[in-house]
Amino acid sequence: MAVTLEHRELELFLHLARTLNYGRTSLECHVSAATLTRTIQRLETRVGAQLLDRGPRGVVLTAEGRRFTTYAEQALELWADYRSGSAETAGLSGELRIFATVTACQTLLPDLLAPLRAEHPQIRLDIRTGDAAAALARLDEGEVDAAVAGIPKRLPQTLVSRPVAVTDLVLVKAREGSSDGPYVVPARGLVREAAFRWFRKTGVKPAIAAEPDGHEALLALVALGCGTGVVPRLVLESSAVRDQLVELPADLEPLTIGLCARRADLHRPLVAALWDLRP
């Protein structure tokens, strides 16, 4: 008798195959740890082989697990293709998960996603926000289907990008503050790297006053007089504290922002629809 595998079981397995962390998959997929464990055990029983090995160094995929990952991805893609039907007759449907910072949501996403909404109004958009520095990692790990993020000079081989905007990096201080004080820089990411390249080029030995996660938080600290900050102009121009800040002269390199996706996902109908349309 043929073995039937539920789509939800395949989705849970694929998430775990990407994260290799039972706790994280349990939390993000909204299932209990016991349910997740039973699901994997049930899959292994049906497949007749061990898919994941929980060793002293953590969870790893077995050779059969890697082979089953390919099957699971293809099975879910076939199901999505079937459910979406013909794009010409019924239009695409389903959920598309997109990561973007708060600033990108306000300034870039409306124009970027307008053609997709016009062409495929049945697609459900799941917009997720957070720290810009985490965007590509969340995409690469499969948490989202696409991301609007700064593009590094060396993009991981697993990802592809298409530029959507270029913004200058600017040096700002509080309107009533000193330009000789300490600096406020992002805790991680491309803007931080560019700021420290500028420090080295100009011979500045910066005293760091704060290292917030997000650019919006950085501007709030600068407006409070905590120090001089480096941010994308796009963030500055859309900030609620813009009038409290003054831009200082600085020859900082620009930041390219792009639409990014996993290379392996470009053939998926929903991702392809987003990728192919232009604002």
Q: What's the rounded mean pLDDT across residues 79-105?
A: 74
**60-69, 140-149, 200-209 — which is least confidently predicted?**
140-149
Q: What pLDDT does residue 32 have? A: 82
Q: What residues are paired with 171 via a beta bridge?
A: 230, 248
Helix (H) or strand (E) holding 258: strand 255-262
* pLDDT tens digits along 24-79: 888 888 778 888 898 999 899 988 999 999 877 789 999 999 999 999 888 888 87
Two structure tokens written together for 88: 């010409």
Q: Is residue 215 a contact partner of residue 186, using CB atoms and an 8 Å limit? A: yes
Q: What pLDDT does residue 34 have? A: 85
What does the alpha-carbon distance between residue 160 and residue 155 come to, in Å, rounded to a whole number?
7
pTM, 2 dp: 0.67
Reported confidence tier of residue 3, pLDDT bands at 50, 70, 90? very low
> DSSP letter string over 172-201?
EEETTS-SSS-EE--SSSHHHHHHHHHHHH
At 247 the three-state DSSP class reads strand
Average model confidence (pLDDT) for the chain? Answer: 87
